[in-house]
Structure 1
Amino acid sequence: MDFERFLRLIGMLVLGVAGWRLGMDAARLGLDSRPAWQFALAFSLVGAILGLLLTPWLTIRPAAMIRQIIRPIPLQQLIAGTIGLILGLIMAGLVSYPLSLLPDPLGRVMPSLGAVFFGYLGLTVAGTRYKDLLAMLPRHLREGRDGEHFILLDTSVIIDGRIADVARTGFLQATLLVPRFVLNELQHIADSQDPLRRNRGRRGLEILNRMQKEGHVPVRIVDMDVEGREVDEKLIALARRMRCPIMTNDYNLNRVAELQNIRVLNINELANAVRTVLLPGETFTLSIIQEGKEPGQGVGYLEDGTMVVVEEGRRYIGREIPVVVTKVLQTAAGRMIFARPEELTRGGSS
């Protein structure tokens, strides 16, 4: 017997008994000449049917909605809200007796209204000033547990794979969440007939599996779902509800999320931020591997993939030489460095 059926039976029993008692009370009013047991039986049957039909809507459905609302709320806010509610109810208890001394009907109504008012007031104050309130708690309660801060991952950043390397460095201090609809899209890509898409999808699944096994940061698959047809639309809606950032490499998702005031963490921007900074006049060693577009040019690449165009470097193809930076060009597509062989620079300056 599943839990929902068990609750239906309990509800049917409780409301059936309540209906029986209500029927007996109705029979005592003498509104009808029929025997009391007929009233009781009729009310009991109605109560049992209502209990069978309505119990899930009064128990399971509200509980599921409450779980859905509470799940994305950080532990700190839950602790603060609970403390605020308790303080508000304590305040309501202190004023309930004086309020009960008021003449009827105020004496019966005001204590209940006071409990609602002070409970709501405590919850609201704790929600707006929860950081100050938590500062008074012991450190282990104030910091909460791992997973208190979340980052949503989209398909592109998982397939890219660099997220695993970033996680290994220890810079990420948050729980990485992979919504079920993102995992389903990854699975769909892995089952594609196109070999390239299939390999990318399988790579993404392998990276997720490896990150979970390595355990450098918590990685959780979550079944949270939101309204929306497209994965990007669902991801933005979920990030807005959870008030957490999205990590992505998708340019369009990046821009749409920023337009809706959703914080975005972009791996490409991180890679650009940690690239080696080279200024005009600096010297470094470069391997010239191919010709440039202009006559006499040679081309090499830094470890991060940045292209270096070496004027008069064609003669050095296949060699590793010291070069001097002459210009650094930053474009929308990335960074390009122009340089000259050091020996030619020295010869020209002398």
Structure 2
Amino acid sequence: MLFRRERIFILDFFTLADGRIANLLQFGLINGKFLLADPSTWQGKAEAEDKASGDVSHLVKRAEDSVSKIKKIKGIKVKTLKGLNDPKSLVAIAKQHKATVLTTDPELKQSLTNLPVILLNELYEALKPAYLPGSEVMVKVLKKGKTADEGIGYIEGGIKVVINGGAKYLGKDIWVVVIGSLDTSVGRLIFAQPKYTEIQ
């Protein structure tokens, strides 16, 4: 378990609307009491922050789905509070309850300098598999690469895998062995080769 039991966490609207938070909590990595933004404030918050799209019903629906899932998770207590969508009120509530804020907003994290804040994206990055050389992973070869024998596939998290000698497995799920990786501006890139070689 990453955190001791019965810690208090605050989830703002956009963290709930992100959808990933419910999946994360289902693993049991974080337990305790969760203070959620009052549902009556969601529509207004979404409209204020997402003026360009106009229709924000999909965000509200995702937040509702997240809350429904979170309430069913063993070891988690849920309470809704008004004020969590206003930064000043959020700070006051967090200090009052000595709570940790879970958010998807990097700017909010920067502004809460005197409070414990966990950025959801950073947490997901930390939990990603390392895929060190020698690691084995199943991947579906979706297309050919830049060279004639390369195959391209993707694994969990949208990580691109370049498979040396993978072109002949196009459309198939195969086990590959990682031979290296590269962090690029658009994410991690994995280099691999098939674990097994077809007998001609």
TM-score range, shorter chain: 0.7 to 0.9
**Aligned-pair CA distance for 1:165:** 2.6
In structure 1, the partner of 2:25 is: 167
**Aligned-pair CA distance for 1:282:** 3.1
**Aligned-pair CA distance for 1:285:** 3.0
TM-align CA RMSD: 3.2
CA distance in 2, matches of 1:151, 1:328: 35
Code of the aligned partner of 1:326: I
CA contact (8 A) 2:106 2:119 kept: no
CA distance in 1, matches of 2:54, 2:172: 37
CA contact (8 A) 2:13 2:37 kept: no
Cα 1:238–1:336 change in 2 (3 A) is farther
In structure 1, the partner of 2:103 is: 248
Matched, 1:209 2:79: no
CA distance in 1, matches of 2:7, 2:42: 24
Q: Look at both structures and tell me which one has the larger radius of gyration over its CA atoms.
A: 1
In structure 2, the partner of 1:273 is: 126
Matched, 1:186 2:38: no
CA distance in 2, matches of 1:261, 1:232: 13
CA contact (8 A) 2:10 2:102 kept: yes
Q: Structure 2, unaligned stretches of length 5 or more? A: none
State the aligned residue count.
Answer: 188
Q: What secondary structure does 2:133 align onto?
A: coil
Q: Aligned to 1:314, which of 154, 158, 167? A: 167
TM-score normalised according to structure 2 size: 0.74
Q: What secondary structure does 2:176 align onto?
A: strand
In structure 1, the partner of 2:78 is: 219
CA contact (8 A) 2:179 2:191 kept: yes
Q: Give 1 or 2: higher helix fraction.
A: 1
**Aligned-pair CA distance for 1:219:** 0.9
**Aligned-pair CA distance for 1:338:** 1.3
**Aligned-pair CA distance for 1:237:** 4.3
**Which one scores higher on RCO, CA 8 angstroms, separation ≥ 6?**
2
CA distance in 2, matches of 1:284, 1:341: 10
Matched, 1:284 2:137: yes
Give the fraction of aligned pairs with identical amino acids, expressed as a percent: 27
Matched, 1:261 2:117: no
Q: Structure 1, unaligned stretches of length 5 or more? A: 1-146, 345-350
In structure 2, the partner of 1:176 is: 34
Q: Give 1 or 2: higher strand fraction.
A: 2
CA contact (8 A) 1:186 1:205 kept: no
CA distance in 2, matches of 1:196, 1:337: 38
In structure 1, the partner of 2:59 is: 200
**Aligned-pair CA distance for 1:312:** 4.2
TM-score normalised according to structure 1 size: 0.46
CA distance in 1, matches of 2:164, 2:156: 20
**Aligned-pair CA distance for 1:196:** 6.0
Code of the aligned partner of 1:323: V
CA distance in 1, matches of 2:40, 2:114: 26
**Aligned-pair CA distance for 1:169:** 3.1
